[in-house]
Structure formats: structure tokens, C-alpha cells
Structure 1
């Protein structure tokens, strides 16, 4: 199994919130509700993120369901994501950037436009329910300039690298924690 397949499988597992082995729109949009709950925000406060996740489903994920069974299984996700990255890079990265910016804005509690270690950890723990310790090492890898903060560019760059790089040593591979 390639490094990219390992990362795509991890992403699939992170998105599959009900653990039924299929991704549905509710899996994606539910991430915004989890974040709202974990950060003690009103559901309306995460409307922008919910909308960007719904758009990601409608324009990208929904089309991955090749057998029309109403959900995207692991194999469909892997194959379609690889094909989409090659054929439609600009559009998919624009949607991922919009989503990334929406959740970065929500997690940026002090409003400085950057994510501190605590903000980053709270964000990913809240959305994906992974252990907080998972993100401590990840933060160190993603903080390229070593300033103790993650900029939107560092986050977007890490996400892009996570979903495209075949190199095991790529920094962005740490986005959801150690591989």
C-alpha cells in the first residue's frame, strides 16, 4: 500500500463519523456540529463551515459514489480522490482552501489570524474526536517557520501535501497525526 493510500484511508476514517464504512453528506456536515459543540459555539456560528462542507460533498464527494448506493466506500474514495487530484486540481484545492479557512477562522479564538497549538489541537480534537496527543507532534511538524503558530498558508500547504504527496517524510503527512 502506498503512502498516499495510507493517508487517504486515514482521511476516510476521520470523515466517517458514524463508522459505517461509507461516507455520506451527514458525515461531512456533522463535522461542523461537532466543532460547535466542542468549542461551545451556537450551531449558527458554524454555518459557514457547514456550508463549505456541504458544497464539498455536493461538488466532489457525491460524484465519488460510482455504484449509486448513496454512500462513498473506502475504495471509491481512494480511486476518485486520486483521479480528481490529477484532473481537477484547481477546483478541488479552492474548495478545500475555503473549508480550511472556515474552520481556521472558527478555531482562532484570539482573532490573530493564526492557530496556536491549543487552538489547533482543540479544532481537530473537536471535529474528528482524535486524542489531543495526536496533534502535539503534528503541530511541531506543520509549524514550518517555528513561530509557535500555524498560519492559513501553513495549514493549506499541509492539507495539500497530505492529499498529494507520496513521500513518507512530507511534513503535511502529519496533518491528522503520525502515519
Structure 2
């Protein structure tokens, strides 16, 4: 399995809220609700994230459902994501960036426009339910300029590498922790 396939498998697991091996719109949108709960936010505080995830489902994920059964399985997800990356990278990336910006905004608790290590860890732990320790090494790799903060550009660049790079050493591979 290629490094991109490994990352897409992990991404699928992140979005598969109920762990049934199938993605539905409620799984994808449910990521925002998990984040609101983990951050102690009111549900309306994640409206922008919820909207960006709904748009991601409607414009990207739903089209992955090749057998039209209303759900996206792992094979459909991996094959379609790879095809979209090649043929429609700008449009898919715009939607991923919108989602990234929305949850970065939520995670930026002190409002400085950056994510500290604690903000990054809390955000990803809350959104994806991965152990907090998973993100220490990831944070160090993603903090390109070594200032102890992640800027939107660093986050955006890392996410793009995560979803597009076949390079085993790409920093973005660490976005959800070590592969």
C-alpha cells in the first residue's frame, strides 16, 4: 500500500464517526459536533465548520458513491479521492482549506490567529478522538519556522501534503500523527 493510500485510510477512519466502515453525511458532519463537545462549545459555535463539512460531503464525498447506495465505502473513498486530487485539485483543495480554516478558528482559543501546541492537540484530539500524545511529534514536524505556533499557512500546507503527497518524508504526513 502506498503512503498516500495509508493516509487516505486514516482520513477515512477520522470521518467514519460510528466506525461501521461506511461514510454517510451524518458521519462527516458529526465531526463538528464531537469538536464542539470536546471544546465545551455551544453547538452553534461550530456552525461554520458544520457548513464546510456539509459542503465537503455534498460536493466531494457524495460523488464518491459509485454504486449509489447512499454511503461511501473505503474503496470508493480511496479511488475517488485519488481521482479527484488529479483531476480537480483546486476545487477539492478549496473545500478542504475552508474546513481547515473553520476548525483552526475554533481551536484558536486565545484569538492570536495561530495554534499553540496545546490548542492544536486539543483541537485534533477533540475532532478526531486520537490520543493527545499522537500530536506532540506531529506539532514539532509541522512547525516549519520553529516558533512554537502553527500558522494557517503551516496548517494549510500540511493538510495539502497529507492529502496529496506520495513523498514518505513530507511534513504533512504527520498531520494526524505518525503513520
* TM category, shorter: over 0.9
The C-alpha deviation readout for 1:110-135, integer Å capped at 9, x for no partner, is 00000000000000000110000001
Whether 2:44 is the aligned partner of 1:21: answer no
CA distance in 2, matches of 1:10, 1:44: 28
- How far is 1:69 from its partner? 1.1
SS at match of 1:14: helix
In structure 2, the partner of 1:4 is: 4
Q: Is 1:156 the counterpart of 2:156 in the alignment?
A: yes
Distance (Å, rounded) in 1 between the aligned partners of 2:26 and 2:100: 18
- Matches for 1:51-70 after TM superposition, within 5 Å: 51-70=51-70
The aligned residue for residue 43 of structure 1 is 43
- Given the alignment of the two structures, is residue 122 of structure 1 paired with residue 122 of structure 2, yes or no? yes
Instruction: Give the TM-score, by structure 2 length.
Output: 0.99
The residue number in structure 1 matching 2:33 is 33
Determine the structure 2 residue equivalent to 1:71.
71
Q: Where has structure 1 moved over 6 Å in runs of 4 or more?
A: none
Aligned to 1:86: 86
Partner of residue 111, structure 2: 111
Q: Determine the C-alpha separation between the residues in 1 that align with 2:70 and 2:20.
A: 12
Shift of 1:12: 0.6
The runs of 5 or more residues in structure 2 that have no matched partner are: none
Which SS does the other structure have where 2:32 is aligned? Answer: helix
In structure 1, C-alpha distance between the alignment counterparts of 2:153 and 2:27, rounded to whole Å: 26
Gaps of 5+ in 1: none
| In 2: Cα distance, 1:144 partner to 1:28 partner | 29
Q: Distance in 2 between matches of 1:2 and 1:101?
A: 28
- Taking the aligned partners of 2:167 and 2:14, their CA distance within structure 1 comes to 21
Matched residue, 2:100: 100
Query: Considering only aligned residues, what root-mean-square deviation do their CA atoms show, in Å?
Result: 0.5
Query: Does the residue aligned with 1:109 lie in a helix, a strand or coil?
Result: coil
CA–CA separation in structure 2 for the residues paired with 1:6 and 1:31: 21
Distance between the aligned counterparts of 1:97 and 1:51, measured in 2? Answer: 13
Instruction: Give the TM-score normalised by structure 1.
Output: 0.99
Once the two structures are TM-superposed, the CA of residue 162 in structure 1 deviates from its matched residue by 0.4
